[in-house]
Amino acid sequence: MNLANKLTMLRIILVPFFAFFMLAAELVPYSYLWAAILFAIASITDTIDGKVARKYNMITDFGKFLDPLADKVLVVTALICFVQLGWTSAWVVSIIVIREFMVSGVRLVAAGSEKKIVIAANIWGKLKTASTMVAICVIIGLHIFISFGLFTMESFPVQLISDILMYISCLLTAVSGIIYLYDYREIFKEAK
């Protein structure tokens, strides 16, 4: 296994520890801070593994499969933790997760088609990813401030900010999913 793929594997390995700290606020002091640090490290490995793979010609089929999977596992885990903690609604997370499965399915069908189409992320997919990552980081950050006693849920509109960020992410997720389905509708006509 090359260095780029090891970095991707590290991202997946960090996910259960991230989830533990997200859900261990009553057991571990500053658990949200530890979770944020792990999330940041995992996110940094996402940037580094791609650069390493391209620079040192380490791009592999395994890496092409594993990298987007690692991203989805990290983000979906964070969102499931948010639902468990009551920080967001299950229906919002369901839309985001359904879109991720749907687009992954479209990509698999495209890759398995006669034309072997590789579907790159479009601007809507990138906006969806950026909005979701911003939402996750800001929401965890707000709860870090609360855990440090810098403000309380009653003195600052934490839930309102969280809801707005997650609704924006959900909207961009739905729009990007619809656009993917529309743009690649021919693939389904060709699939048998």
CATH of residue 36: 1.20.120.1760
Q: What is the pLDDT of residue 91?
A: 98
Reported as a single tens digit per residue, the pLDDT across 128-156 is 989 999 999 999 999 999 999 999 888 99
Which of 62, 85, 108 terminates a domain? The answer is 85
- The whole-angstrom separation of Cα 38 and Cα 86 is 21
Which of 51, 85, 119 terminates a domain? The answer is 85
Distances (CA, A) of 156 to 145, 159, 183, 186, 190: 11, 9, 42, 49, 53
Evaluate whether 166 touches 89 at the Cβ level (below 8 Å).
yes
> How many structural domains comprise the chain?
2
Same domain, 66 and 53: yes
Same domain, 95 and 73: no
Global pTM?
0.90
**In the chain, what is the straight-line distance between the N-terminal and C-terminal CA atoms, in Å?**
35
Q: Which of 139, 175, 131 is nearest to 157 (CA)?
A: 139
Alpha carbon 90 to its chain centroid, in Å, reads: 16
Same domain, 43 and 68: yes
Which of 85, 116, 134 terminates a domain? The answer is 85
What is the domain extent for residue 79?
1-85
Same domain, 129 and 165: yes
The percent of residues above 70 in pLDDT, for the chain, comes to 94
pLDDT above 80: residue 47: yes
Reported as a single tens digit per residue, the pLDDT across 26-44 is 999 999 999 999 999 999 9
Q: How confident is the model at residue 110 (pLDDT cuts 50, 70, 90)?
A: confident
Same domain, 80 and 141: no
Same domain, 31 and 97: no
Same domain, 77 and 121: no
Question: What count of residues does the chain have?
Answer: 192
Same domain, 98 and 180: yes
pLDDT above 90: residue 53: no
Evaluate whether 37 touches 22 at the Cβ level (below 8 Å).
no
